């Protein structure tokens, strides 16, 4: 029996691909032991146990950004985290550590190296995080969601996707999606989403452009997010929802999209061949621009800065795109050409390869 320790957490960007890989490992070998390493504070503390996995926790020890008391305490706390993970590895007979980034991944990588077991990494963003930049230096295999991600020995695998997205039959599900959202399945649909919390600029501009967008003959499905500050304009062919608990159906009926450029969003839209206008989140280290770069360069998307996404820009760029069906078909093909629906299986192939190379008993058939 192979024992896997999957490390990652904090945000959905780390937890969701981790869970996709965990589910596939469990599906193909119910006898395998799949453990998850996280913190007691992160999103994983709720999602991992709910999915039926054992969550092992360590203290959250972020790298210090400035010289202060926390920076002075960091070395001892970090060494303790590594020692804690190493003890877990020994006690549970872990054969391989699979990391997805985040606070817990660095001590997991270093503990695995000290224990002499292979490390396999998945990097979801085109601009890699600190933990994965460190771990990739000695990892057995490194998988990336976006081609060209600057990590040593990186191999493109795509994003491990949720099963309902990976197996989505958009044509078959379109009538179901239309009924679910109250839309006409025979007419095109523009999906607008800024993520679970919403995106202020996207929401405001979309509402202000509602009549312009629906005037093209398109329907609009606007998922505002939980912290929306806009109200439903109440016009025909415009559906506003705060949260889509069936995002698979939203993607099934979408003929085009306007969205942020988070790694999971770009990966799902590309894998499904949905043309998109990407409006990257303007705060942070700019990783969302990098996430969208490949599909935009291929011709499957348009990049618009957050500050520029105004009603005038919608009229100037989005409306002509929606009016040109031939262009949209070309964009759909281009998006699909850089996407991957089999990211989960590709990632597991890397894990299997690392185990075989390491000589772990039973790895090849795990």
As a whole number of angstroms, the distance between CA 138 and CA 119 comes to: 8
Looking at the chain, list the stretches that DSSP marks H as alpha helix, in order from N- to C-terminal side: 12-28, 44-50, 69-92, 105-115, 130-135, 163-166, 170-181, 200-208, 210-214, 247-253, 263-271, 287-298, 311-313, 319-323, 325-338, 343-358
Q: Whole-angstrom Cα distance, residue 214 to residue 206?
A: 11
Binding-site annotation: residue ranges for UDP-N-acetyl-alpha-D-glucosamine:
11-13, 125, 162, 196, 288
- Residue 342: phi and psi, rounded to 5, are -110, 30
The CA distance from 13 to 86, in Å, is: 25
Assess contact for 290 and 316: CB atoms under 8 A.
no
Helix-then-strand count for the chain, H and E: 16, 13
3-state class (DSSP) for residue 55: strand
| Residues that constitute the known binding site | 11-13, 125, 162, 196, 288
- 32: helix, strand or coil: coil
For residue 22, what are its two tokens?
A: 């965990």
């Amino acid at each position: 029996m192979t024992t896997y320790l999957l490390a990652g957490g904090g945000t959905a960007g780390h937890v969701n691909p981790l869970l996709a890989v965990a589910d596939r490992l469990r599906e193909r070998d119910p006898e395998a032991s799949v453990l998850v390493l996280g913190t007691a504070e992160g999103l994983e503390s709720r999602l991992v146990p709910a999915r039926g996995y054992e969550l092992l926790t360590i203290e959250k020890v972020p790298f210090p950004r400035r010289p202060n008391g926390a920076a002075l305490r960091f070395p001892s706390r970090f060494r303790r985290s590594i020692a804690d993970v190493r003890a877990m590895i020994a006690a549970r007979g872990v054969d391989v550590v699979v990391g997805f980034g985040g606070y817990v991944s660095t001590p997991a990588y270093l503990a695995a190296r000290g224990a002499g077991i292979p490390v396999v990494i998945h990097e979801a963003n085109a601009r890699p995080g600190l933990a994965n930049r460190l771990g990739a230096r000695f990892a057995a295999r490194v998988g990336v969601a976006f081609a060209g991600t600057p990590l040593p020995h990186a191999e493109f695998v795509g994003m491990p996707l949720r099963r309902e997205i990976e197996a989505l039959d958009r044509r078959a599900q379109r009538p179901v999606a239309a009924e679910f959202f109250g839309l006409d399945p025979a007419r095109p649909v523009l999906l607008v989403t800024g993520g679970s919390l919403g995106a202020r600029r996207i929401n405001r501009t979309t509402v202000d452009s509602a009549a312009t967008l629906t005037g093209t003959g398109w329907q609009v499905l606007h998922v505002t997010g939980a912290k929306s500050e806009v109200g439903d304009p109440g016009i025909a062919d415009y559906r506003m929802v705060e949260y889509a608990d069936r995002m698979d159906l939203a993607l099934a009926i979408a003929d085009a999209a306007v969205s942020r450029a988070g790694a999971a969003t770009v990966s799902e839209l590309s894998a499904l061949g949905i043309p998109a206008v990407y409006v990257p989140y303007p705060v942070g280290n700019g990783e969302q621009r990098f996430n969208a770069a490949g599909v935009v360069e291929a011709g499957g998307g348009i990049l618009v800065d957050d500050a520029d996404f105004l009603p005038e820009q919608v009229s100037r760029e989005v409306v002509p795109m929606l009016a040109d069906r031939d262009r949209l078909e070309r964009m759909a093909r281009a998006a699909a050409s850089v996407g991957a629906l089999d990211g989960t299986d590709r990632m597991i192939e890397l894990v299997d390869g690392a185990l075989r190379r390491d000589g772990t008993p039973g790895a090849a058939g795990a």
